[in-house]
């Protein structure tokens, strides 16, 4: 698919104070017509926190570990991305039309922009959070390869923007904290990428309990294998390689890039790390949330 160049590298657009990819900002109006169902399950994350991984795990769970069924379509079709919209590609809302219940849905929206119907219908949410330093590095590479983002500039300038919340979806700090607080009033399973790396089986058990399902041990083992970084990297239905190169250029950086915890250490300078830690301490001072930036 040939894409016009004018739809890429556009400046972010602010909606209710939240900077967004322009096309996603445009999708928020039409998204008002979206009706949540009580049996929907929402996967919510700040970008680059393990969204695709958890989506694949949940699709496998919903299909009793049947790998063939999970090959039926790319992950962004199997788990519609609510606010997704890019000219020339099916929007999240369009993908939803063909999605049978019970539906898996994905969003990165902060609460200020989340469709109210999801809260009204008490839709269960699985939130996945990842330590901010690895998110920043992963986001930088993603900005490079996914041209719906503005140009990332140098790593140093991107890190400054990330710290200031001037990247698509706004500040990481606010996102992870507001969804953490929401679990006091809304059914949310709050997971950490680092815990999933450490012990995927333990985290899959948590997911099964939360969604009220059970699976035989051997099926869980199959899911762990099928959703390992190594397998997902090679799986065209999980690795975004079916999209046009104009949109995502895996030669610039693969979507399935490294899949590890602590990669930030090879990117942050000592000075950047000190500055980041000081800012982080200030932003997270009042939060009970604790992250691990290494395992
Ligand atoms: P890196 O860029 O650090 O490698 P999202 O799906 O939210 O966009 O997150 C993408 C990040 O999750 C990328 O991180 C990607 O490599 C990593 N990832 C995707 N699938 C994974 C898996 N099965 N195991 C571990 N990490 C995974």
Tell me the per-residue pLDDT of 180-206, one tens digit each, with 9 for 90 and over.
999 999 999 999 999 999 999 999 999
Q: Which ligand 1 atom lies nearest to the CA of residue 141?
A: 2
User: Hey, which residues are catalytic here?
Assistant: 108
pLDDT of 4 over the 90 cut: no
Q: What's the pLDDT band for 1 if we cut at 50, 70, 90? A: very low
Protein residue with least CA distance to atom 20, ligand 1: 53
Above 50 in pLDDT, residue 32?
Answer: yes
Residue 248 backbone dihedrals phi, psi, to 5 degrees:
-135, 120
CB atoms within 10 A of CB 102: 12
Protein residues with CB under 6 Å of any ligand 1 atom: 45, 47-53, 134, 138, 141, 227-229, 232, 256-259, 263
Residue 294's alpha-carbon distances to 71, 194, 260, in angstroms, are 33, 8, 9
Mean pLDDT of 237-257: 97
Q: What is the distance between the alpha carbons of residues 43 and 104, in angstroms, rounded to a whole number?
A: 7
Pairing mode of beta strands 41-45, 104-107? parallel
- Which protein residue has the closest C-alpha to ligand 1 atom 27? 259
Predicted TM-score of the model (pTM): 0.98
Neighbours of 114 (CB within 10 A): 20
233 CA to centre of ligand 1 in angstroms: 9
For residue 258, the ligand 1 atom closest to its alpha carbon is 4
Question: Above 60 in pLDDT, residue 3?
Answer: no
Question: Is pLDDT of 2 > 50?
Answer: no
State how far the Cα of 174 lies from the Cα of 268, in Å rounded to an integer: 22
| For the chain, percent of residues with pLDDT exceeding 70 | 98
State the distance from the centre of ligand 1 to the C-alpha of 232, rounded, in angstroms. 9
Convert the pLDDT of each residue in 142-173 to its tens digit: 999 999 999 999 999 999 999 999 999 999 99
CA 62 to ligand 1 centroid distance, Å: 21
Contacts 24+ apart (CB under 8 A), 177-182: 177/284, 177/287, 177/289, 178/110, 178/111, 179/44, 179/111, 179/125, 179/127, 179/129, 180/127, 180/129, 180/287, 180/288, 180/289, 182/111, 182/125
- The closest residue, in CA terms, to atom 9 on ligand 1 is 48
Q: Which of 81, 229, 239, 293 to mutate to test the pocket of ligand 1 (most atoms within 8 A of CB)?
A: 229
Q: What is the pLDDT of residue 5?
A: 66
**Ligand 1, atom 18, residue with closest C-alpha:** 259
CB atoms within 10 A of CB 91: 22
Dist. CA 138 → ligand 1 center (Å): 8
- pLDDT > 90: what percent of the chain? 98
Taking all residues of the chain, what is their mean pLDDT, rounded to a whole number?
97
Alpha-helical (H) ranges within the chain are 22-31, 51-62, 75-78, 92-97, 116-120, 132-145, 155-164, 172-182, 193-198, 200-211, 217-226, 229-234, 270-283
Q: What are the DSSP calls for 104-122, one per residue?
A: EEEE---GGGS-HHHHHTT
- Closest ligand 1 atom to the C-alpha of 47? 7
State whether CATH 3.40.50.300 applies to domain 26-283.
Answer: yes
Q: Residue 51 Cα, ligand 1 centroid: separation in angstroms?
A: 7
Write the residue with the smallest CA distance to atom 12 of ligand 1.
50
Q: Dump pLDDT digits (tens) for 33-82.
A: 999 999 999 999 999 999 999 999 999 999 999 999 999 999 999 999 99
120 Cα: distance to centroid of ligand 1 (angstroms) = 31
């Amino acid at each position: 698919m040939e894409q016009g160049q004018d739809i890429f590298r556009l400046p972010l657009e602010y909606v209710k104070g939240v900077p967004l990819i322009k096309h996603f900002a445009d999708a928020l109006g039409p998204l008002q017509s979206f009706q949540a169902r009580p049996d929907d399950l929402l996967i919510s994350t700040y970008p680059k926190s393990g969204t695709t991984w958890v989506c694949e795990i949940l699709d496998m769970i919903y299909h009793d570990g049947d790998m063939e069924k999970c090959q039926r379509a790319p992950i962004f079709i199997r788990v519609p991305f609510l606010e997704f919209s890019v000219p020339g590609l099916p929007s999240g809302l369009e993908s939803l039309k063909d999605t049978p219940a019970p539906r898996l849905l994905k969003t990165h929206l902060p609460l200020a922009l989340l469709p109210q119907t999801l809260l009204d219908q008490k839709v269960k949410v699985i939130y996945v959070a990842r330590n901010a330093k690895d998110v920043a590095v992963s986001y930088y590479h993603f900005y490079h390869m996914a041209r719906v983002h503005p140009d990332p500039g140098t790593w140093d300038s991107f890190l400054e923007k990330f710290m200031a919340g001037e990247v698509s979806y706004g500040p990481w700090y606010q996102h992870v904290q507001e969804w953490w607080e929401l679990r006091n009033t809304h059914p949310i399973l709050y997971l950490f990428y680092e815990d999933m790396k450490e012990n995927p089986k333990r985290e899959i058990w948590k997911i099964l309990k939360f969604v009220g399902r059970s699976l035989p041990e051997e099926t869980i083992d199959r899911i762990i294998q099928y959703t390992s970084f190594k397998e997902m990297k090679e799986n065209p239905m999980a690795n975004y390689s079916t999209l046009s190169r104009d949109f995502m250029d895996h030669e610039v950086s693969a979507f399935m890039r490294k899949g590890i915890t602590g990669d930030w250490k090879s990117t942050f300078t000592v000075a950047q790390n000190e500055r980041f830690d000081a800012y982080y301490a200030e932003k997270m001072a009042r939060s009970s949330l604790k992250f691990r930036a290494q395992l």
